[in-house]
Chains A and B, each alone.
Chain A
Amino acid sequence: MAFRKEKQSLSKGVLQMKFMQRTAVQQLVDENEAQLIDEEHWYLAVPKEFKMKGKPQIIEESFQPLLGLRFGRQSFKGFNPEIERLATNINKDQDLAESEKKEQEASVSDEEMAERYASLVGTIGKKFQKKKRQKKQESKEDEEEEEVEREPKKKRKFLKPKD
């Protein structure tokens, strides 16, 4: 080690001399090697049993976003209109999500919707067919319908109101 330190402390002037060239080259190479740090340098050698296993996780330390807690400052019945406006604004997103949930419960389910539309496919499809075809198909359908026996279609007329 002591020898190395001595070598590093050689001055530029001495190293430039002709008989010192070999030492100078060697020193340059050593320096380059020291600078080259391979990738392993940046990784900790963690033993396998300490590495995280299982499902990936998110850690949330606060209850506020976790439970969807409301904003702490609130006002009721116009006691402090400024705060009331602010609180409703901040809690609006939550209320929206809540009402959306309620709406979904009340409205039609996807399956029901699909069923209804399935019966509509034929009726709407007719619109886009040419007249001749339409008639042909209708007559076909009529034959089928006669077998099933359906109520005859009534032509709607204007009904006079009774006095």
Chain B
Amino acid sequence: MCEVGGIGLPGDKIVDKETDGRIVLGPGLRKETEHVLMTKPGKLCFKDPNIYWVDSHHKRYIPVRGENVLGVVTNKSGDTFKVDIGGSEQASLSYLAFEGATKRNRPDVKIGDQVFCKLLVASKHTEPEVVCIDSSGKSNGLGVIRDGGMTITTPCNHIRKILSPDCVLLKTLGNSLPYEIAIGMNGKIWIKGRTTKETIALTNAIACAEYMNNEQISLMCRKLVNSLSGF
């Protein structure tokens, strides 16, 4: 038995709060006849109104439909690219799945390029498929990422922390330094600052913020900006 806020192992039944209405089961939970069981080890979390999920440290990405990921093109074969998104299998990316691409007008993508893409198909049994356009054919921030910068790989739970609306990390850094960032749910982060020095500093700041709370993060950012400007 595992209660909200407690640590559980796969197979543990969860004790849900007595609330009305449908409950939402997030990653790491499964309904088995009349009980809800954990399928991942970790902390059982709860969010209003009725959402349960398991939070744990993990580096292996499990592709999920609709998530934005940052991948590397590893192979070009016929009319698809193979993209390494950190999952158990490489994802396929059609060359038509770029903004403005037609059969005659192929997109300019080379092996080794980084692409920020959205998972269109992610099922247990087939290879995942990614696209760089939305349903209306616009790129909307997806596509090849070029012009320098630096990419790091962090645990997937760190990504969730950075992207959560409560986290101040990106905003605090952005208040004092101009930079651009692309964060994939697969744990890959691409960062680009004005200079190489700034890029490295930003990368370090993001990488070491995993176990910090908001106060510590803002303190760390202040220190970083001070040392960057030479104080």
Contacts and interface: CB of A to CB of B under 8 A. Distances in A.
Interface residues of B, number: 45
Contact of B27 (A61, A70, A86): A61
B169 to A, nearest CB: 11
Interface residues of A, number: 38
A78 to B, nearest CB: 6
Q: Taking chain B's interface residues, is the majority helix, strand, or loop, or is none over half, making it mixed?
A: mixed
Contacts, number: 130
Interface in B27-70: 27, 30-31, 33-36, 47, 51, 53, 64-68, 70
Interface string B136-149: 00001100000000
B209 interface: no
Contacts of B67: 62-64
A74 B178 CA distance: 11
Interface of B: 16, 22-27, 30-31, 33-36, 47, 51, 53, 64-68, 70, 116, 140-141, 160, 163-165, 170-171, 173-175, 177-185, 192, 194
Given A66-B47, A73-B116, A87-B141, 6 more contacts: A62-B64, A62-B65, A62-B66, A66-B53, A69-B160, A73-B180
Interface of A: 49-80, 83, 86-87, 90, 94, 98
